[in-house]
Amino acid sequence: MRKPSFSLTGYGVGWSANRRAALVAIGLACLLAVAGATAYLTGRGEQHRSSSSSPAAPSSTSPATSDGTQKSAADTGSVPRPPRISDPLAFAMAAAEMLWSYDTRDTSNEQQLTGMQAWMTTESEYSDWASVSAQMPTPALWARMADQQQRATATVSEAHYPAAFKQALAEDPSAITEAYIYAVTVTGQQTIAWAKGGHGAEDRSITLAVQCRPSADCSLVAIAPRVAP
């Protein structure tokens, strides 16, 4: 019988209205909002879902400590670093794979969060860390997952710009230059395994807001409350 698993991005996220005002001056149908131009992205966790997981998050640079020094790989466990790329679709695919992958055998709850935060944009007016961190299980749940040696890997199949996002850009191409934040929907599959040979797989879909300013590496802005087609 399949044991319950935790899904990071299946951890319902609802967006706070006071953050709605940003991103790409686009009114994305599922309300991806943040703060800046017109409806886009930002949110806060709502409900917990314990069926597969997806925390880890890479970063092009290691997160800095309070004294300004760089944290070592040990501080982020198995969480990969984000790729240094400037293409929104490619970055979103990497971010989704990161979010759908984790290993409680060698990574603590704190390390997972640290690794995920390294993917976030450093522009505080757009960063919606709440919508990303809300995907994480509590330390107590993470400990139970670790007891079962739960881990997950992911395979990404495709990424595309949601129809509403493309329409909004077509109507106002200059809107993207406000914050250079793009909505990207990614699909793939997550494979979960645990102690004594237990395993399972689930199809995954997620809509992310990623920031890709000209001549700069992309970064994660937020996770949408629901998938945008």
When pLDDT is cut at 50, 70 and 90, the band that residue 135 belongs to is: confident
Report d(CA 143, CA 150) in Å as an integer.
10
Residue range 31-56, pLDDT digits in tens:
344 333 223 333 323 333 333 333 33
Tens-place pLDDT, residues 49-97: 333 333 333 333 334 443 333 444 558 888 999 999 999 999 999 999 9
pTM over 0.85: no
pLDDT cut 70: percent of the chain above it: 68
Which of 212, 155, 202, 131 is closest to 179 using CA atoms?
212
Q: For the chain, how many residues are written?
A: 229
Percent of the chain with pLDDT over 90: 61
Contact at 8 Å (CB) between 103 and 115? Answer: no
Q: How far apart are CA 198 and CA 194, in angstroms?
A: 5
Q: Are 147 and 4 a contacting pair, CB within 8 Å?
A: no
C-alpha span between 89 and 187 (Å, rounded):
12
Q: Which residue type sits at 223?
A: I
Residue 178, pLDDT score:
87
- E strand residue ranges, 72-172: 102-103, 151-160
Whole-angstrom distance, CA of residue 59 vs CA of residue 225: 23
Helix (H) / strand (E) element for 131: namely helix 129-133
Burial-class residue 142 by CB neighbours within 10 Å (0-12, 13-18, 19+). buried
C-alpha 171/C-alpha 156 separation (Å) is 30
Nearest-10 crossing angle of helices 139-147, 109-117: 120
- Bridge partners for 14 per DSSP: 44
pLDDT of residue 37: 29
- The mean per-residue pLDDT over the stretch 153-174 comes to 94
Banded model confidence at residue 145, pLDDT cuts 50, 70, 90: very high
In single-letter form, the type of residue at position 191 comes to T
Say if CB 6 and CB 137 are below 8 A apart: yes
Range 108-135 average pLDDT: 95
Q: Which residues contact 217 (CB under 8 A, 6 or more apart)?
A: 60, 82, 83, 84, 85, 86
Q: Token pair of 69, please?
A: 């020094």
